[in-house]
Every structure is written in structure tokens, then in C-alpha cells.
């Protein structure tokens, strides 16, 4: 009887899944009804015009300064992570006047330290089925929809990744197979690819380093399913740049010093901002402020009400980077239950292997550092499942990211348990959005903008269109786009003696440029060719000198850290390689931004200090004396 009830629940839920698909199509029609069609087309031209260039940083700053009390922005977004950038993009594409300020750099916090997965929530589905929890089931439906959306909007930065789940008993084979088939079914049209079972022989062929025996249990095969993978920092930068192209005044390295209130002190009407590059302060006014400060959103809330109750329960996740030979290209490994019950994953990413596990509690800090015991736990956990010797000395980088798990202070406990993100206005004019995950950033942003429109009684000219808008670099991009770079461009390299020699635009570099800049990769290749910036910045990595120049001109790359951590991922991939690349990166940035010698020295010091927060084997701090 219990099983029949569960089946009934699933059947009902499945019907709802398809119902929601139909509903989603209605909103597309609604967009048309509201004239979203032609404005959307105009918007696409604005963003994707081959001659389109983002406004200079000075222009962005001027636009924010010009938003006075009598001429306020519609929305000012605080925080340039995934949610904040997504909100800015959503708002500006609805025709609102939008500003975005970020204290550090786009994606400098949580948004660049994620697992890089766009997952549909297969584990939530497990909970939904076993606990008959419809709320969890809705989360799965929602995540599946958004996963597909992100991949379609940024095809150059996201792709489907097969994830292998090893099975060490025939029960596990059946259990995971059925569970993942249900996942396929629930996904419906949001499916990336069907899951399937592979025998032990096939599995080892697909994943050569996979162990056949783990803790005296033999591998009975694996079940492979698909989730999305992305470059989180570049996706975030892409969001900010797309918003800028669409007309938003986005400004990184700009800190909110305080919030401004109206005359009777009952509504937030603006913010005092300091440009951290120049030290100058100015006021910006907006009808609504959206607080998307992630782990720091409570400190923003306390600027409005110093007695505001904390809503962030911070949780940190550690990730380590291992050499490419730990995992095959194009196949990840996810172990749903290790011996202590936590999930461990190991995924190929940008030519390396990223491994990690689930979260633990932490305190909020700007530059979180992974603990050695967390790194060791990951190494121990994956070594059980690999036939390659797992060594601490192989850790090329390790980082910690704080995930702002959110409590809605206005909700009952049972309600908040199943909610994924929270949108809340606990002070008039200040809408806070926090919690959630990368996969659903778009709909989080949509919720935030909807709340802002309601709060400020704004009048957008269009309904939300971000479900239909490609990010800059994504329109017209195809997986084979890189071949144009390989065929038509050369990497001109300046040697130490000042001579210029031509180099091949090899496939590794061409693919990297295409998968980082999308259709704009030819602009980078042109710089590499015409300005003799064709050298690689670090041995074994496809990053070119030309990218530094391009990012400084077109992606608001204002510091060395911006480049090695977010515009490229070198700091996250190999700490030592990033350190070695720093002098040249700073040299090129200095040329672009007219830095004097003292500024260059400062940049080197800051970046070196930043890299110390990544625990590769070179700068590990061992506490147990067991490692050398």
C-alpha cells in the first residue's frame, strides 16, 4: 500500500512536470503579447552586434554618479556574483535603468568557487521519492528547467558532462539504474542525455583510473548520467558584460560604504559608493536596491537596520585540483556514499581534475582558506575509488567557497526547509536575495527583479526575457567554431631578444579561446596576431598574453587577481603556474591601464598574498606531520 501511494505521488508529480512545461510556453506567448518579441530582437542586436563593445569603466562610473536624487536609477544591485549579475541583466533587459556595484570583482566570492556543475538535483529526487516530499520534487523540476536554460544561453561556457556512479553490488546497479531512469523521465524535454548502465569492462575503458575493487567489494559496473558543467567565473563575467552591453552601469571594485535613506528615514533611496581603484566616493540613487551580497548580504542589511537578524548560515565547500591523469577527459565520477556517508565527486575541468565533497560549517571571510584535514579527507575518499596512487604532492590548487545557506526570517521552519533561495524585503527599498545555487541563478534573478518592481512600483517595458537571451559570445557559437581560429590565425610571439616569431594556433589554444570567449574569440586571436601577444603565460596551459590585453579592454579586468582568478582560472587550476605568470600579466595590465611602478609592485604583492589562500602542495600547511 505504501508503495502504491508512492507510485501515485510520482505519477501525479510527473503529470505536473509536463503541465509546468505547458505553462512555461504560455509565458513565451505572453512575452509576445507584451511586445517582448521586437524589443527582444533589438536587444539581441545590441548585445551581439559584431562591433559591440562594453562601455569603458569611466563611463560606467559616470552613469552611476549621474543617478541623482531627482533622477534615480530604477534598480541598484549590490553584489556582482551570479545572482547580482543575473539580476542586473534581467532588470536592464526589461527596460529598467540599472546599476550594479561589486566590492571586489564579478564572481570574486562564492560564484567562482562552485563545483562547476549545473545539476538537476538527482539527490533531491531521491529525497522526494523516499520522503514523499513534493517540495523537494518541485526543486528538481525547477532545477532541470534552469539547467537546460543556462546551457542554451551560454553554449560556449557550458556543456553536458557524463557522470559515472560506480556500483559495488548488484543491488546498487538496480537501485541507481532505476533512480537515474526516473531522473531521465522526470527531466522530460529538459533531458541532456539518457542515462545508461556500463559493464565493469566498459566502465574501466571509459574511466581507466577507476578501481575495480573497493574495500573488498568488486565493481559490478557503473551507471552514467548527465549534468551540466560550466566555467562559473567566466559565466559570471559574461553576465556582467552582457548586462553592460544591454545598457546597465556595471562597476567592479566599487564598494558600498553606507546606504542612504529618505528624509523621514523609512525607505532606502540610494547608497554611498567608494571606487576602490581611486578611493573616490560618490552617492548613487535608486528607487530600489537589490542586495545580492551572498555571504555578505547580512552586513548590507545591517547598514539599513543595525539590529537586523542574521539570515545567513554559512557553509563551506573545499575543492582540490589534481593533474589531468586522475580522470579521463569528458567523464566525471560521483560516489553517492563514501564510508562516512558523504558524497565525493571527481570531475575533469579545463584539462585538470577537480575533486571535492559536501559542505561543513564555517565563518564568513572574504578569502576563505581550506583546512588541511578537509583536503586530506577528499584525497582519502577518492583514493579508495582509483587505481592511481593519490598523493598530497599532486594537489595543484585547493580552494574553499562559502555557500550562503539562507533562513527566511519571516517564514515558519517547515516552510524554509524546502525553500532553496529567499527573496525578502525587510526594510522598505532594500530587497535581499540570497541562498540558492548556480543552476537556478536565472530564476533567482527573475524573482529578485519581480520583487524590486513590486517594491518600487516600477514600470518595465518588457516582461522577463532572460530565458530567451544568449550571453555575449554565445549567439552563433558552435562546438566547431574553434577550427576557424586554428586555420586563420597565428600566434606572433616576442622573444626575450625582441625578435618576433610566428607560432601555430594549436588546437588546445584555439579550443580554449573558443570556449572562453565564444564568438568573440577572434578578437583575442587578432590581438595575439597583430600585437605580438601570442605567447602562452604558463607552461602546460593554453592562456595567452593577448587575453590579458583583451580582458583589460573589454571585460573590466582591473587587477592581476581579476585575471588569474576570474578571466582565466589559472589560480584555481595550478597555484604555482599562476605565481610564475604574474610578472608578465602585471606587465601587460600596466601597459593597458597605465600603472606606475609602485602600483605594479602593489599588484604583485596583493596577488601573491591572494595565491597563498590556495593550498597546493607547494604552500600547504600541514598540521599532522604526516606529509612531506
Residues that bind its own copies (CB under 8 A): 160, 193, 202, 204-205, 208-209, 323-326, 329, 387-389, 391, 394, 478-480, 482-484, 486-487, 504, 506-507, 510-511, 539-540
Handedness of CA 383, 389, 392, 397 (dihedral sign): negative
Nearer of residues 217 and 391 to its own copies, judged by Cβ: 391
Cα–Cα distance list, 45 to 42, 48, 117, 561 (Å) = 5, 5, 30, 32
Between 82-93 and 441-456, two packed helices, what is the crossing angle to 10 degrees? 60
Contact call for residues 48 and 241 (beta carbons, < 8 A):
no
3-state secondary structure 169-234: CHHHHHHHHHHHHHHHHHHHHHCCCCCEEECHHHHHHHCCCECCEECCEECCEEEEEEEEEECHHH
Residue 486 beta carbon to its own copies: minimum distance, rounded to whole angstroms: 5
Q: E-strand spans in 407-495? A: 421-427, 430-435, 490-494
Closest CA to 251 of 106, 115, 463: 106
Locus of grid cell 523540476: 141
For residue 328 the three cell numbers come to 579521463
Minimum CB distance to its own copies smaller for 131 or for 387: 387
The answer to whether 231 touches 348, Cβ cutoff 8 Å, is: no
> Across-strand partners of 357?
344
3-state secondary structure 132-180: CCHHHHHHHHHHHHHHHHHHHHCCCCEEEEEEEEEECCHHHHHHHHHHH
> CB of 209: closest distance to its own copies in angstroms?
5
CA separation for the pair 482, 460 (Å, rounded): 39
* Closer residue to its own copies, CB minimum distance, 21 or 160: 160
**Would you say 381 and 338 are in contact if contact means Cβ atoms under 8 Å apart?**
yes
To its own copies, the closest distance from the beta carbon of 53 in angstroms equals 28
- Cα→Cα distances 151→142, 148, 196, Å: 15, 5, 22
Distance of closest approach, residue 100 Cβ to its own copies, in angstroms: 34
- 252/327 with CB nearer its own copies: 327
Distance of CA 136 to the CA centre of its chain: 23
Closest-CA residue to 585 (of 569, 561, 605): 561
Closest CB 325 distance from its own copies, rounded Å? 5
Please report how close the Cβ of residue 497 comes to its own copies at its closest, in angstroms: 14
Distance of closest approach, residue 510 Cβ to its own copies, in angstroms: 7
Q: Which CA distances in Å does 156 have to 87, 278, 349, 525, 551?
A: 21, 35, 14, 16, 17
**Neighbouring-strand partners of residue 160:** 228
Shortest distance, CB of residue 169 to its own copies, whole angstroms?
23
- Which CB sits closer to its own copies, 12 or 387? 387
Name the one residue in this structure whose C-alpha cell is 558543467. Answer: 229
Q: For the CB of residue 166, give the shortest distance to its own copies in the complex, in Å.
A: 15
Q: Smallest distance, Å, CB 482 to its own copies?
A: 7
Nearer to its own copies, 255 or 384 (CB): 384
Quick one: 29 or 194, whose CB is closer to its own copies?
194
Amino acid at each position: 500500500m505504501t508503495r502504491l501511494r508512492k507510485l501515485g505521488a510520482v505519477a501525479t508529480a510527473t503529470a505536473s512536470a509536463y503541465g509546468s512545461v505547458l505553462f512555461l510556453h504560455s509565458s513565451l506567448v505572453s512575452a509576445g503579447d507584451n511586445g517582448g518579441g521586437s524589443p527582444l530582437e533589438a536587444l539581441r542586436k545590441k548585445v551581439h552586434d559584431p562591433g559591440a563593445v562594453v562601455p569603458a569603466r569611466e563611463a560606467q562610473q559616470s552613469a552611476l554618479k549621474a543617478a541623482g536624487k531627482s533622477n534615480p536609477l530604477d534598480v541598484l544591485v549590490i553584489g556582482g556574483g551570479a545572482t547580482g549579475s543575473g539580476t542586473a541583466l534581467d532588470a536592464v533587459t526589461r527596460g529598467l535603468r540599472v546599476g550594479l556595484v561589486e566590492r571586489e570583482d564579478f564572481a570574486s566570492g562564492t560564484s567562482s568557487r562552485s563545483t562547476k556543475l549545473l545539476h538537476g538535483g538527482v539527490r533531491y529526487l531521491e529525497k522526494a521519492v523516499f520522503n514523499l516530499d513534493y517540495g523537494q520534487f518541485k526543486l528538481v523540476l525547477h532545477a532541470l528547467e534552469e539547467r537546460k536554460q543556462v546551457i542554451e544561453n551560454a553554449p560556449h561556457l557550458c556543456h553536458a558532462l557524463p557522470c559515472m556512479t560506480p556500483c559495488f553490488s548488484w543491488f546498487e546497479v538496480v537501485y541507481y539504474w532505476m533512480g537515474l531512469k526516473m531522473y531521465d523521465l522526470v527531466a522530460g524535454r529538459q533531458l541532456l542525455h539518457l542515462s545508461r548502465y556500463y559493464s565493469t569492462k566498459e566502465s574501466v575503458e571509459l574511466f581507466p583510473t577507476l578501481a575495480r575493487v573497493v574495500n573488498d567489494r568488486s565493481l559490478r559496473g557503473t551507471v552514467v548520467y548527465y549534468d551540466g558543467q560550466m566555467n562559473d567565473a567566466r559565466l559570471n563575467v559574461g553576465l556582467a558584460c552582457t548586462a553592460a552591453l544591454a545598457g546597465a552601469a556595471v562597476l567592479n571594485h566599487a564598494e558600498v560604504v553606507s546606504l542612504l535613506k529618505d528624509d523621514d528615514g523609512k525607505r532606502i533611496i540610494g547608497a554611498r559608493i567608494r571606487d576602490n581603484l581611486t578611493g573616490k566616493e560618490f552617492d548613487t540613487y535608486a528607487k530600489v536596491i537589490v542586495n545580492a551580497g551572498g555571504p555578505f548580504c547580512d552586513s548590507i542589511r545591517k547598514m539599513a537596520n543595525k539590529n537586523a537578524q542574521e539570515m545567513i548560515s554559512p557553509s563551506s565547500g573545499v575543492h582540490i585540483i589534481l593533474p589531468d591523469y586522475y580522470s579521463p577527459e569528458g567523464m566525471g565520477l560521483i560516489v553517492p556514499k563514501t564510508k562516512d556517508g558523504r558524497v565525493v565527486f571527481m570531475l575533469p575541468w579545463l584539462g585538470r581534475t577537480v575533486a571535492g565533497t559536501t559542505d561543513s560549517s564555517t565563518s564568513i571571510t572574504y578569502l576563505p582558506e581550506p583546512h588541511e584535514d578537509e583536503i586530506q579527507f577528499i584525497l582519502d575518499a577518492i583514493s579508495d575509488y582509483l587505481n592511481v596512487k593519490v598523493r598530497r604532492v599532486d594537489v595543484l590548487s585547493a580552494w574553499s567557497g562559502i555557500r550562503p545557506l539562507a533562513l527566511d526570517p519571516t517564514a515558519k521552519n517547515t516552510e524554509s526547509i524546502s525553500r532553496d533561495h529567499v527573496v525578502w524585503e525587510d526594510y522598505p527599498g532594500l530587497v535581499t536575495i540570497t541562498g540558492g545555487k548556480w543552476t537556478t541563478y536565472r530564476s533567482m534573478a527573475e524573482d529578485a527583479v519581480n520583487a524590486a518592481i513590486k517594491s518600487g512600483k516600477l514600470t518595465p517595458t518588457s516582461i522577463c526575457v532572460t530565458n530567451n537571451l544568449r550571453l555575449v559570445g554565445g549567439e552563433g557559437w558552435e562546438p566547431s567554431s574553434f577550427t576557424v581560429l586554428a586555420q586563420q590565425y597565428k600566434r606572433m610571439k616576442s622573444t626575450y631578444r625582441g625578435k618576433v616569431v610566428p607560432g601555430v594556433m594549436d588546437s588546445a589554444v584555439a579550443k580554449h579561446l573558443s570556449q572562453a570567449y565564444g564568438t568573440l574569440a577572434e578578437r583575442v586571436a587578432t590581438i595575439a596576431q597583430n600585437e605580438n601577444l601570442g605567447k602562452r603565460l604558463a607552461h602546460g596551459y593554453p592562456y595567452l598574453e593577448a587575453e590579458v590585453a583583451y580582458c583589460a579592454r573589454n571585460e573590466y579586468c582591473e587587477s592581476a587577481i581579476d585575471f588569474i582568478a576570474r578571466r582565466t582560472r589559472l589560480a584555481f587550476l595550478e597555484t604555482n603556474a599562476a605565481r610564475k605568470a604574474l610578472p608578465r600579466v602585471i606587465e601587460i595590465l600596466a601597459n593597458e591601464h597605465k600603472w606606475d611602478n609602485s602600483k605594479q609592485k602593489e599588484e604583485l604583492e596583493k596577488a601573491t598574498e591572494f595565491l597563498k589562500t590556495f593550498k597546493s602542495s607547494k604552500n600547504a600547511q600541514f598540521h599532522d606531520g604526516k606529509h612531506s
